Every structure is written in C-alpha cells, then in structure tokens.
C-alpha cells in the first residue's frame, strides 16, 4: 500500500503545483488519462486474485476519486483566479457621467390645470371648453354686460379686426373663461357641473400683468345650490389644492355683472419671513371672484331661472400656481426661458392625483 | 373714490373707530384700497402741563421744567423760548418716535441734567412749519391724547383719507353720502338727514334752456339751471380746500371747488358757465351737428371734434360744453367772473359712455353720469349748490329754468324672505330684511320693494337678496357641503380629446422636451412665414407690434423662444407646446396642435461620443411615438406634401389617406434665418384631433397568438435609383406573402459617391430583413426559397431595382 500513498502524494503535489489549466491537464493525463499511471494500475487489477483484487480495487478507486476531486478543486481555483485577474484589469472610472438622457418637463400651468381637474373631477365637475376668439355676445352680452356697461371698458378687451363690409360687432379675444358657462349650459342644460380652464386675454402688460393668462371657471347649477355650497366647495378646493390641513375663506361682497350676489374670496395666510403660508396667520389674500349665477345669465343660456340656480367662480390659474409653488413673476410663464422651464417644470410622469397627493 | 373721515361724518353720525369703518366698507363691497391716517404718527403723544420752569444751571438758553404728565411729574430740559410755567404742551416720552426730526427718544442728559422726553413744536410733529417754540395749547387736560384734542379743535390735521374701489354697479357710492348710507345700514352710525335748501329766485333767469326733441326721450330727459349774478369768485374757504386737497384735487376757485364738492359729496356733478360768455338768451341741449364738424376747446385745454352722436350744450355761437363730460374753456369761470349759469342735468349713461370713450376723456362727471346719478336729485342738488354759492361767493339767484322732467325710474320687486335661505344660505328674520332695505332707501309696500332712485343697479328679486346679504355680511356665511352628483366612485369626466391632449403632452415631455406656453398672438412677419397673417386673424388693438396676429402654428412661438434661448447661450434644446392655433377669425376656427422643436445636438458632449446633431429621423421618431401614444394605427402613409416652411427634401407628412395627422422634418433654412434661429432645426407638429379615436369600445385586448415554430430571418439588398423611397420596397416586400411575412425592417442604406462608384451613377442600395413566421409547420428550404423569390420579384417590380449581388 505504500506504493499507493506515494502515488497519492506525488499527484496531489503535482495538482497543487500546477500553475495553469494546461499544466493541470498534463497532471490529469499522467494520472487518470487512458495511459495514466493510475489507469494502468486499474488495468492491472484484472490479473490479480479475486481476493486481492477486491481490496486493491477499492483502494485504487479511493485514490482515483481523491485525485479527481483535487483536480476539480484546483481547476475551479484556477478559474476563479483567472476571473479575479481579469476583473482586476477591467477597472473603469465610475465617476464618469452616465450616458446622457434627455429630461423633459411639464409647464406649471399644465400641471396646475391637471391638479384642478383631479380635485373638481372628484366632486363631479366635467371639463368644458370654448373658443378663445369669441363673439362679443358670449363674452359680454350673455353675461349681463350690455354694450355700454362700464364693466366692458374695465375688461381691457382685445378686438379682432373686422372687414369693412362686415357689419357685425367685432369678435373679441375672450377676456375671461365665463363665456364657457354660456356655451356649456346651452349645450347641456341643467343640472350641470363644469370647470373651464383656459387662456384668456386682456390688454394689460406691466410687472404683474401679461396680455395673456389662464383662468379656470367653475359652474354648478341645480335646483337648490346655494352660496353656502359655493363656500364649502371653494374651501374644499383650496384645502386640497394648497395641500394644507385646513383653510379659512372670507367672502366679501362685491359685484360682477354675471353673478348676484357676488363675492370676492380671500384666504387666510401669513407672509412670515417673506414666505407665504396658506391656512394660518393674520393676513388675507384675495384669490378669486364668485357668486350666484345671475338670472339673466341663466336665461341667456336657455336655463329657466325660476327652476334652476347655482354658483360660478373664476380664478387665475397662473396666480394660484405662483402662490402654491412660489413662482415670483407672471410674465416669465410665457418667456420659455429654459432655465425657468427646468426649474419650475414638473416631470413627465409627475401626474397629479388625489390618492398620491397632488404635488408629491 | 376718495373721501375723508370728517367728510363722512357730515353725513354719518358715528363714534365708530376708523378701523371698524374701513373693515365694514371692505366687507360691504366698498373695498378699501388705502387709508392715509395722519393721526397714526401722532398717536403716542399726550397733553402735559409745565408746573415749574427754571434756567438750566449750565446753559443760558435751556430751561429745566417740571412737567405734569399722565405718569406723574417728569423733569424735561427744553430749549424753546416759550417754555414756561402754566402752559399746556404736547409731550413726547422716551420710546416715542417723533416724525418731524426722525428720532426715537430716549432718556437723555443735557449738560448734566436728566431729561425724560421732550415738548414738541408743530414742525416736530409735522403739523406745520412753525418752529419758533413748543406748542402751547389753549385748552386740554393733562394725559389727554393729542390726536383727540386735534380731532376736536383742529380736525383737518387728523382727518384720515379713505380710498375705496367702487364696482360699476354702485354709482350711489361715488358720493360720500352713499357710502354713509351703507355704513348706517350696517349699524355703524345713523345717516344724518339731508339738509334741504329752497332758494327763492329773485329774478327771471336771463338764460333759458331747451332740450332738442331728439334727446328728450333718452339722451337728456331733464336739464335745469339758474343764473346767479354778482358773485365773487375768489379762493374757496380753508375747510373746503383742505377736503379737496386731502382727496387729491387741486383747489381752483370757489365756484369750481363747489362743483367738485357736490360731485364727490353727493354724486351730483354740476357745471358752472360764465353767464357773460354765453351768446344769446338760451342754452340748447342737442346732438352735435352732422352737416359740419363742431369743435370745442374744453377745460383741459384740448380741442375735441364732436360727432353727431354726441350730446352738446350750445349757445347761439356754437358748442359751449360736451354734455355731461366736460365744459368748454371759453365759457369757464375765472376770478373775474361775476355772473354765472349753474347747470344741473341728467344724462343718459350709455350716450355719455360712448362719447367719453370716443373722445378719450376721463372726467369725474363722465365717470359718474355713465354709471348713473340720481335722476330725482337734479333740482334739489341745484338748490343746495346755489345755496353754497350764495354763502361762499355772494350774489343773487334767479328763478330755476328747466326743460324735461326727472326720469321716472320707479319699479318694484317682490321681497321673498325665504329666497335668502335658498339662494345664499343665510337665515335672517323677515323684519331684519325689511329694515335693511328701508335703511338703504327702499320703500316697502306689502311684499313689494321699490328701490331708491339712486340705485339703478337694482333690477330684480336677486338684487334684494344681495342687498340684505351684503349688509348682513357674507363673512358670516357658513359653508355647506355640495352633495355629490352620484354616490360611489366618481365617473371619468374628460372627453376623449381632452385625454388625448394630456397623453400628447406627457408623452412629449417623457421624450425629453421642455413644455413652453407661448403667446397666442405673434408678429405679422412670423405669422406670414407660417401661412397666417390674414386680416381675419389680425387684432385691431394689439398691445405691441410683436403681438398683432393670432398664430397659425405653434412653430413660430417655439422658434422665437429658441432664438431667445440661443441668445442666452443654450445651443441644444428640445421645446414643445400643446395649444391652440387659429385658422380664421371666427369662434371655433381653432385647432389643437402638439408641436416639438429640436435644435443642436441630441446630447451634450460626453466621454462616450453620444453627441450628434439632431436630424429629421429624431423628429420622425418622436412624432411616431406621440402618435402611438394617441392610439394612431401602425400602418400610415408618409407623403411629401408639406407646407412651405418645411425643408422640401427633408420633411414628410404622416397620414391616413387624406387625413394628415402629423408633419415632421427640418424647418426651412430661410424660415430659420428670418426668425433669427441658428439651425438646423427639426420639428414635428401633430394635429391632435386628426388622430382617430380607437374603434374598440372595450378595454379587452385582442387575443395574443404565439407561434411555437421558429421564425426565419432573411436579408435582402437592392440596388435602386437614389430617389426610390425605402417604404416602397418595404410595402412591396410585405405584400409578397401576407400570411407568411411577419415584418420587414430596413437595416441599412448605402448612398453617396462611394455607392455610386460601385453601383453606378444615380444608384444606391437599401437593405432590409424579412421575418418569415410559419403558422402550421416548420418551413422547408424550398418554401423559404419560394418566398424569397417572390419578395425579390415584387420589390424589383415596385422599385425598378435589382437584387444586389
């Protein structure tokens, strides 16, 4: 048996000493190959006595397995070492920038319009639309602003050119989203709940005014909708939109030709440290105009004021966007400065919804 | 509308503090814009008395005074020559801010003697320029607030000025009395009775009045006046001048100041003619002549040409006044005026508004007449003003001359006390509702309410509700939940087009574009470059030459934005807008476009060489991505029929038959140059509404059929003429065996000089791979060969090309 031990020691040493796969293969062939030393010994077993053969065979098999295992282990070790060596050479400077991906953005006006839609949609308001070049009837007359009404002058209206042979009064660029009230009621009748966000135009340009801006109109008509419902609706809206636990609104009597009674609505806020906080503090900030739809407006849209009543409100979308997101300058909304678009814009997948919170 | 507190108190008996008054005004709908309160800066100062004064031990001109104050006796060092025992003074204590010297006082030591405050001069309190000594008051108690003493003894010095915003429906509040009436109805005091003046004329007016028949029914139902002779038109008294100055008016002369006083005090504009400048013995109220252009130099020194729709007051020589708007310079009053004719009339608001607008005159008279003055107050106002002229200027008044009669504005509406609950949601007892209306001047008979003559805005039952709610205060209104339209989960509310608009916007942003919102109106040149600029879409009164025409396309706005960003140093950009364009000037001639613009490179420089210039196929890929998001069918036609602001060789339209859904390509270099954009620039424009809505009305998808059989890919390369389009080859290949061919994809093209050198002049090669998908059994070589042969045949026929060997 000493022979086998010697053999074992010889090959295990050889296995351990093999420096690469080919050297290891040579060892394998020398030991276990067809003409290998151990294979030869196995072949010689046939010539032995059966009794001796049994014991010698078992020992030889043991030796064979042992060397085979050593060969495999060494092979795996060599492969690992080779991989480690390769990986050592595969070093990259991972502080290099990643491959560029374009980063788009959504304009705050679009984002806020979707926020409005999410909130009012939940309260059952559909989204109505109307033309931006509007007849003076829809923009004024139907809203109880007859031609010589002083309120018309206060609207700073843009007029469309009128051909000399066209006797109709000139069309206007809608000065508010209120004409959509008329169009929506005319098309749908009552009851109705709609909001109408969109572009409006006034001839006004200074630090705080742009000749185009965005408004959202709200309209709810039913048998018994009251101004108290209006107040609740606006409270709920403001609470949800500004994403604060509670808000306080103050209704102030005012006048709009198309509502009666009319109220300007202020929201409680603080300006502590120059930072606007909605829902707390001692200041009031005017945020919108509202009221109960004037009977003449209902009648103009073909809705019987003896049977139906309800509220309407109008609010500046750019303005509430500025308040909510701390955007300082209205005119910058329309200048398309890439720095501004990227800073104040929203990610493409940042779609406002109520379960996830509007701005989260 | 501006007025002072003391002016208000002429009409309102109230002890309410100014803060309560201003808060109530805003709440009543008479929004306070500004309060200038001179008393605010004098608030800390109190009255005190010098009980002992002696010379300062170390200074000849200083006195050490013991002063009795509300906090006991104090020692004050004073340099005023009149500081002496026994006089009542105004005390400023340590900690007080003294406005005239801009100093907050502390306890001082003057030449070794402690001084606890100061006694003020008029200049130090900004009351006047007087600084010869400290204020010595003839009355007042120690500890009394100085402002309270001033309020009683020199009220004008502490009279707060209140500026309120008047909504167009409230002409009555354009007079102080109307404001007072609202406050009284709110419970902030009692409206004082209107003083009545009945003037007995001493002689017949030498100047008569006559309203032309054309005007009597509408333009001027009532015109009254009288001559006052022997007046002296000097400066008006101090109290009147101070009131006018406080509200920003310049005192001119007693006669002019009186008319302004009535304009602001009682919303009763008047006009005073110099009687001696009137030719003839009659003033005519008529329209301006149509046969000749009548002109007038008005009181503002400007010449106005009167149109035949404008009302004038004329004498025998011509127009003397623009009725209800502004008087003429010639017939105006001066210091030498001795005889005047005082006019009080009612003018039709609509005619006044039209005239004022046409002449661009913004006068206090126009402002009031176009909103509506009280038609029943014409004569009473005339008498009150006559009385004031007689009081301040002397003279003798004639009988009243008048034509027409006060406009009858009587009307009544039913007061339904329950309306307040149902419309507003406030519960107010009927008796309170009735009292509110009566306080506002309404007359109630049974359940019918007649509005006062000064409230032209009250035109229905809803107005009665509004008045009651307004006076009761809307602040008290409690919100009440708006019932849901339906119980359960809310239904979707957006229309399919609205959904598509959102999808377009979000998809384009996801592709890396920054959304812009640009103006709907653009300059004429840009509009013309994009097929617009017609008169139908021209704005009659643009705010600037950059904003004269409604945009025919979104590209000009984006290109202008790109040029501005290039000027700021940005070379690469991806901008987009989703918004309306205007094909014509009628309502509804409006289309919704989604437009993207790429300029510069697709990526910044980086170590991997990602940077390359944007090209047409970027724009095309983005357009296709958006169309896919909008649910457009996969099979579309690409044509070269595009508008002329696109590069003619590098642009295309994506359509379904005649329906063009999108255009993409390079923007025409000439357009870029005209718009000041450094190109090239590629873009796409999608007509959102042109993308058809999916036909399927169910969310269920078509069944997915997967084949277990191996697909076979075969590549083909064809030599074709350079202008043969790849799509021709692709469609021909697809048509070779519709059941077997799953897809055809172009993977290479070989064009240019090298290609022509190999394949001949005017030739190129296009290569595509065809995927054959067997459905029932694996394809044999023979089947594959047969399909290939068919593809070669079809493509050769369609393109005129040959298989590249």
CATH number (domain holding residue B500)? 3.30.930.10
Q: What secondary structure letter does DSSP report for B424?
A: I
Per the CB < 8 A criterion, the answer to whether A133 and A171 are in contact is yes
We report the CATH number of the domain holding residue B116 as 2.40.50.140
Q: What is the pTM of this model?
A: 0.86
Nearest to B370 by CA among B383, B357, B386, B385: B357
- Please check whether residues A68 and A165 belong to one and the same domain: no
Residue for token pair 């002109």 = B295
Q: Is residue B485 part of a domain?
A: no
Q: Is residue A359 part of a domain?
A: no
Pick from B520, B542, B565: CB nearest A132 = B520
Least reliable range by pLDDT among A45-54, B102-111, B500-509, B780-789: A45-54
Q: Is residue B141 part of a domain?
A: yes
Q: What Cα–Cα distance (Å) separates residue A349 from each residue in B30, B356, B506? A: 46, 54, 7
Q: Is residue A18 part of a domain?
A: yes
- Please check whether residues B766 and B794 belong to one and the same domain: yes
d(CA B656, CA B658): 6
- Please check whether residues A74 and A123 belong to one and the same domain: no
Q: What secondary structure letter does DSSP report for B551?
A: -
- The pLDDT of residue A2 is 59
- Please check whether residues B329 and B458 belong to one and the same domain: no
Per the CB < 8 A criterion, the answer to whether B225 and B409 are in contact is no
Q: What is the mean pLDDT of chain B?
A: 93
Contacts of B486 in chain A (CB under 8 A): 124
- Domain range for residue A286? 108-344
Q: Is residue A160 part of a domain?
A: yes
**Ramachandran region of residue B473, left (φ > 0), alpha (ψ -120 to 50) or beta?**
left
Our CA-based measurement puts residue A108 at a distance from the nearest CA of chain B, in whole angstroms, of 9
Task: List the beta bridge partners of residue B54.
Answer: B64
Burial readout B377-415 (b: 16 or more C-beta within 10 A, e: otherwise): bbebbbbbbbbbbbebbebebbebbbbbebbebeeebeb
d(CA B144, CA B69): 9
Contacts of A159 in chain B (CB under 8 A): 539-541
Whether B648 shows a pLDDT value over 80: the answer reads: yes
- Please check whether residues B393 and B420 belong to one and the same domain: no
pLDDT digits (tens, 9 = 90+) for B230-277: 999 999 998 899 899 889 999 999 999 999 999 999 999 999 999 999
**Ramachandran region of residue B179, left (φ > 0), alpha (ψ -120 to 50) or beta?**
alpha
Our CA-based measurement puts residue A61 at a distance from the nearest CA of chain B, in whole angstroms, of 48
Our CA-based measurement puts residue B489 at a distance from the nearest CA of chain A, in whole angstroms, of 9
Our CA-based measurement puts residue A81 at a distance from the nearest CA of chain B, in whole angstroms, of 31
CB contact under 8 A, A349 and B513: no
Domain boundary residue, one of A89, A121, A145: A89
Q: Is residue B198 part of a domain?
A: no
Select from B587, B599, B621 the residue whose CB has the most chain A CBs within 10 Å, as the one to mutate to test that interface: B587
pLDDT digits (tens, 9 = 90+) for B633-642: 988 999 999 9
Pick from B475, B564, B590: CB nearest A131 = B590
- Please check whether residues A230 and A294 belong to one and the same domain: yes
Contacts of B608 in chain A (CB under 8 A): 99
Pick from B169, B561, B608: CB nearest A255 = B169
pLDDT digits (tens, 9 = 90+) for A104-136: 999 999 999 999 999 999 999 999 999 999 999
CB contact under 8 A, A252 and B539: no
- Please check whether residues B385 and B395 belong to one and the same domain: yes
pLDDT digits (tens, 9 = 90+) for A208-249: 899 999 999 999 999 999 999 999 999 999 999 999 999 999
- Please check whether residues A178 and A43 belong to one and the same domain: no
Name the 3-class secondary structure at A170: coil
Domain boundary residue, one of A61, A89, A117: A89
Stretch B37-48: mean pLDDT: 88
Pick from B169, B519, B602: CB nearest A334 = B519
Number of domains in chain A: 2
d(CA A21, CA A90): 22
Whether B506 shows a pLDDT value over 70: the answer reads: yes
pLDDT digits (tens, 9 = 90+) for B13-29: 999 999 999 999 999 99
We report the CATH number of the domain holding residue B183 as 3.30.56.10
Nearest to B45 by CA among B83, B76, B91: B91
Q: Is residue A352 part of a domain?
A: no
Residue for token pair 């000064």 = B454
Our CA-based measurement puts residue B168 at a distance from the nearest CA of chain A, in whole angstroms, of 6
Domain boundary residue, one of B657, B690, B723: B690
Average pLDDT per run of 10 along chain A, which is 360 residues long? 78 89 90 86 82 84 90 92 92 91 95 96 95 96 86 83 91 96 96 97 88 97 96 96 93 93 94 88 92 96 96 96 93 96 96 88
- Please check whether residues A85 and A125 belong to one and the same domain: no
Number of domains in chain B: 6
Per the CB < 8 A criterion, the answer to whether A253 and A263 are in contact is yes
- Please check whether residues B425 and B324 belong to one and the same domain: no
- Angle, helices B496-510/B616-629, rounded to nearest 10 degrees: 140
- Please check whether residues B272 and B379 belong to one and the same domain: yes
We report the CATH number of the domain holding residue B749 as 3.30.70.380
d(CA A120, CA A97): 43
The share of chain B scoring above pLDDT 70, in percent, equals 100
- Please check whether residues A133 and A242 belong to one and the same domain: yes
d(CA A43, CA A11): 19
- Please check whether residues B101 and B231 belong to one and the same domain: no
- The pLDDT of residue B634 is 85
- Please check whether residues A202 and A330 belong to one and the same domain: yes
- Please check whether residues B537 and B661 belong to one and the same domain: yes
Cα-to-chain-centroid distance, residue A136: 39
Nearest to B304 by CA among B342, B359, B358: B359
- The pLDDT of residue A42 is 83
Whether B491 shows a pLDDT value over 90: the answer reads: no
- The pLDDT of residue A312 is 98
User: Strands B514-515 and B573-582: what pairing?
Assistant: parallel
CB contact under 8 A, A133 and B589: yes
- Domain range for residue B683? 496-690
Q: Which distant-in-sequence residues (6+ apart) come within 8 Å of B701 by Cβ?
A: none
**What are residue A48's phi and psi, to 5 degrees?**
-90, 165
Find the DSSP H helices in B444-554. 461-472, 496-510, 524-529
- The pLDDT of residue B195 is 83
Find the DSSP H helices in B575-708. 616-629, 669-674
Our CA-based measurement puts residue B364 at a distance from the nearest CA of chain A, in whole angstroms, of 14
The share of chain B scoring above pLDDT 90, in percent, equals 81
Q: Is residue A122 part of a domain?
A: yes
d(CA B561, CA B567): 10
Closest residue, chain B, to A100 (C-alpha):
B603
Name the 3-class secondary structure at B659: strand
- Please check whether residues A206 and A316 belong to one and the same domain: yes
Per the CB < 8 A criterion, the answer to whether B263 and B365 are in contact is yes
Contacts of B552 in chain A (CB under 8 A): none
Secondary structure (DSSP) of B737-776: -TTTEEEEEEEEEE-SHHHHHHH-TTEEEEEEEEEE--SS
pLDDT digits (tens, 9 = 90+) for B383-421: 999 999 999 999 999 999 999 999 999 999 999 999 999
d(CA B667, CA B284): 67
- The pLDDT of residue A39 is 86
User: Strands A283-293 and A277-278: what pairing?
Assistant: unpaired
- Please check whether residues B281 and B383 belong to one and the same domain: yes
Contacts of B424 in chain A (CB under 8 A): 226-228, 261, 292
- The pLDDT of residue A1 is 47
Secondary structure (DSSP) of B601-627: BSS---TT----B--HHHHHHHHHHHH
- The pLDDT of residue B189 is 95
- Please check whether residues B77 and B45 belong to one and the same domain: yes
- Please check whether residues B229 and B351 belong to one and the same domain: yes
- Burial group, residue B509, by CB count within 10 angstroms (0-12, 13-18, 19+): buried
CB contact under 8 A, B482 and A123: yes
- Please check whether residues A58 and A114 belong to one and the same domain: no
Closest residue, chain B, to A109 (C-alpha):
B517
- The pLDDT of residue B613 is 95
d(CA B124, CA B45): 12
Q: Is residue B110 part of a domain?
A: yes
- Please check whether residues B671 and B549 belong to one and the same domain: yes
pLDDT digits (tens, 9 = 90+) for B89-120: 999 999 999 988 899 998 888 888 999 999 99
Q: Is residue B202 part of a domain?
A: no
Stretch B731-741: mean pLDDT: 92
Element (H, E) at B216: helix B213-216
Q: Is residue A357 part of a domain?
A: no
- Please check whether residues A191 and A128 belong to one and the same domain: yes
CB neighbourhood size of A9 (10 A): 10
d(CA A23, CA A39): 19
Q: Is residue A360 part of a domain?
A: no
Q: Is residue B488 part of a domain?
A: no
We report the CATH number of the domain holding residue A250 as 3.30.930.10
We report the CATH number of the domain holding residue B294 as 3.50.40.10
- Place B750 in a pLDDT band, splitting at 50, 70 and 90: very high
**What's the half-sphere exposure (Cβ side, CA atoms, 13 Å) at B315?**
22
Q: Is residue A170 part of a domain?
A: yes
Q: Is residue B798 part of a domain?
A: yes
**What are residue B716's phi and psi, to 5 degrees?**
-130, 145
Closest residue, chain A, to B462 (C-alpha):
A260
- Please check whether residues A205 and A335 belong to one and the same domain: yes
CB contact under 8 A, B574 and A229: no
Stretch B272-299: mean pLDDT: 93
B95-102 contacts at long range (C-beta below 8 A, 24 or more positions apart): B96/B44, B96/B45, B97/B41, B97/B44, B98/B124, B98/B125, B99/B41, B99/B42, B99/B124, B99/B125, B99/B126, B100/B124, B100/B125, B100/B126
- Please check whether residues A226 and A264 belong to one and the same domain: yes
Q: Is residue B591 part of a domain?
A: yes
């Amino acid at each position: 048996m000493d022979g086998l031990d010697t053999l074992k020691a010889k090959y295990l040493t050889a296995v351990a000493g093999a420096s690469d796969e080919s050297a290891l293969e040579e060892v394998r062939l020398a030991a276990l190959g067809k003409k290998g030393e151990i294979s030869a010994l196995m072949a010689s077993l046939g010539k032995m006595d059966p009794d001796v053969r049994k014991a010698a065979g078992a020992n030889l098999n043991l030796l064979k397995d042992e060397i085979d295992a050593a060969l495999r282990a060494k092979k795996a070790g060599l492969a690992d070492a080779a991989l480690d060596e390769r990986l050592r050479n595969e070093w990259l400077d991972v502080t290099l920038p990643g491959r560029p991906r374009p980063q788009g953005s959504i304009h705050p006006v679009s984002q806020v319009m979707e926020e409005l839609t999410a909130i009012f949609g939940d309260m059952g308001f559909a989204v109505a639309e109307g033309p931006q070049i509007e007849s003076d009837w829809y923009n004024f007359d139907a809203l109880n602003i007859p031609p010589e009404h002083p309120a018309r002058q206060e609207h700073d209206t843009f007029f469309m050119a009128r051909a000399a042979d066209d006797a109709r009064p000139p069309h206007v660029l809608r000065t508010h989203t209120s004409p959509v009230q008329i169009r929506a009621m005319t098309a749908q009748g009552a009851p109705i709940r709609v909001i109408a966000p969109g572009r409006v135009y006034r001839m006004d340009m200074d630090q705080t005014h742009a000749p185009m801006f965005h408004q959202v109109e709200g309209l709810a008509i039913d048998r018994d909708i009251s101004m108290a419902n209006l107040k609740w609706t606006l409270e709920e809206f403001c609470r949800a939109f500004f994403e604060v636990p509670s808000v306080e609104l103050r209704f102030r009597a005012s006048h709009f030709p198309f509502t009666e009674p009319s109220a300007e609505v202020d929201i409680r806020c603080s300006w502590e440290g120059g930072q606007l906080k909605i829902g707390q503090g001692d200041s009031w900030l005017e945020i919108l105009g509202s009221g109960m739809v004037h009977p003449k407006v209902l009648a103009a849209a073909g809705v019987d004021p003896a049977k139906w009543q309800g509220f309407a409100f109008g609010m500046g979308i750019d303005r509430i966007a500025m308040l909510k997101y701390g955007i300082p300058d209205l005119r910058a909304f329309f200048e398309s400065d890439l720095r501004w678009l990227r800073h104040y814009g929203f990610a493409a997948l940042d779609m406002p919804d109520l379960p996830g919170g509007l701005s989260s | 509308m501006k007025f002072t507190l003391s002016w208000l108190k002429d009409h309102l008996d109230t002890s309410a503090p100014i803060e309560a008054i201003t808060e109530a005004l805003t709440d009543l709908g008479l929004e306070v814009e500004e309060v200038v309160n001179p008393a605010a800066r004098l608030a800390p100062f109190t009255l005190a008395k010098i009980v002992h004064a002696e010379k300062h031990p170390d200074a000849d001109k200083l006195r050490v005074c013991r002063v009795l104050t509300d906090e006991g006796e104090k020692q004050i060092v004073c340099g005023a020559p009149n500081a002496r025992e026994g006089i009542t003074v105004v005390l400023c204590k340590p900690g007080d801010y003294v406005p005239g010297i801009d100093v907050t006082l502390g306890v001082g030591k003057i030449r070794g003697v402690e001084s606890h405050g100061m006694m003020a001069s008029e200049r130090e309190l900004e009351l006047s320029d007087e600084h010869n000594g400290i204020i010595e008051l003839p009355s007042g108690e120690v500890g009394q607030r100085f402002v309270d003493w001033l309020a009683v003894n020199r009220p004008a010095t502490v009279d707060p000025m209140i500026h309120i915003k008047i909504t167009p429906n409230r002409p009555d509040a354009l007079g102080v009395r109307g404001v007072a009436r609202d406050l009284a109805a709110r419970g902030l005091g009692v409206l004082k009775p209107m003083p009545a003046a009945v003037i007995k004329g001493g002689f017949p007016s030498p100047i008569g009045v006559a309203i032309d028949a054309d005007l009597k029914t509408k333009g001027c139902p009532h015109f009254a006046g009288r001559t006052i002779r022997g007046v002296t038109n000097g400066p008006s008294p101090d109290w009147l001048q101070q009131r006018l100055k406080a509200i920003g008016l310049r005192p001119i002369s007693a006669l002019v100041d009186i008319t302004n006083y009535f304009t602001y005090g009682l919303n009763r504009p008047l006009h005073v003619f110099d009687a001696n400048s009137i030719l003839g013995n009659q003033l005519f109220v008529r329209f301006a002549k149509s046969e000749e252009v009548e002109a007038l130099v008005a009181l503002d020194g400007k010449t106005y040409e009167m149109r035949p729709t404008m009302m004038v007051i004329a004498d025998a020589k011509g127009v003397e006044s623009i009725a209800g708007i502004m008087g003429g310079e010639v017939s105006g009053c001066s210091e030498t005026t001795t005889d005047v004719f005082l006019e009080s009339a009612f003018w039709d608001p609509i005619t006044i508004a039209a005239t004022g607008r046409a002449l661009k005159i913004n006068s206090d008279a126009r402002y009031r007449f176009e909103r509506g003055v009280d038609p029943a107050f014409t004569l009473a106002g005339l008498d009150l003003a006559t009385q004031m002229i007689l009081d301040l200027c002397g003279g003798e008044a004639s009988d009243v001359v008048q034509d027409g009669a006060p406009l009858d504005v009587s009307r009544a509406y039913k007061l339904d006390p329950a309306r307040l609950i149902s419309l507003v949601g406030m519960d107010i007892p009927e008796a309170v509702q009735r009292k509110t209306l009566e306080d506002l001047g309404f007359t109630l008979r049974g359940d019918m309410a007649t509005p006062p003559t000064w409230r032209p805005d009250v035109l229905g039952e809803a107005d009665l509700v509004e008045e009651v709610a307004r006076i009761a205060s809307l602040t008290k209104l409690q919100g009440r939940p708006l019932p849901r339209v339906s119980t359960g989960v809310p239904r979707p509310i957006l229309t399919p087009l609205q959904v598509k608009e959102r999808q377009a916007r979000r998809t384009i942003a996801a592709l890396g574009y920054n959304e812009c919102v640009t103006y709907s109106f653009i300059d004429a040149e840009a509009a013309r470059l994009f097929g617009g600029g017609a008169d139908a879409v021209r704005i009659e009164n643009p705010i600037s030459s950059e904003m004269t025409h409604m945009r025919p396309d979104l590209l000009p706005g984006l290109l202008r934005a790109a040029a501005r960003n290039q000027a700021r140093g940005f070379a690469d950009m991806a901008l987009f807008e989703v918004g309306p364009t205007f094909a014509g000037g009628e309502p509804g001639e409006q289309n919704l476009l989604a437009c993207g613009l790429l300029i510069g490179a697709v990526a910044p420089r980086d170590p991997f060489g990602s940077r390359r210039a944007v090209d047409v196929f970027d724009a095309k890929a983005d357009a296709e991505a958006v169309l896919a998001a909008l649910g457009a069918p996969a099979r579309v036609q690409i044509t070269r029929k595009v508008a002329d602001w696109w590069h003619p060789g590098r642009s295309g339209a994506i359509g379904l038959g005649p329906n063009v859904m999108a255009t993409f390509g390079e923007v025409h270099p000439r357009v870029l140059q005209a718009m000041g954009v450094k190109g090239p620039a590629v873009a796409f424009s999608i007509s959102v509404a042109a993308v058809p809505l999916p036909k399927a009305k169910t969310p269920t998808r078509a069944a997915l059929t997967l084949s277990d059989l191996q697909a076979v890919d075969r590549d083909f390369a064809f030599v074709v003429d350079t202008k043969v389009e790849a799509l021709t080859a692709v469609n021909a290949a697809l048509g070779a065996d519709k059941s077997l061919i799953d897809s055809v994809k172009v993977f290479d093209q070989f064009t240019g000089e090298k290609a022509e050198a190999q394949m001949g002049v005017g030739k190129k090669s296009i290569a595509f791979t065809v995927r054959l998908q067997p459905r029932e059994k694996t394809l044999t070589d023979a089947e594959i060969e047969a399909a290939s042969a068919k593809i070669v045949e079809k493509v050769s026929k369609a393109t005129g090309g040959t298989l590249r060997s």
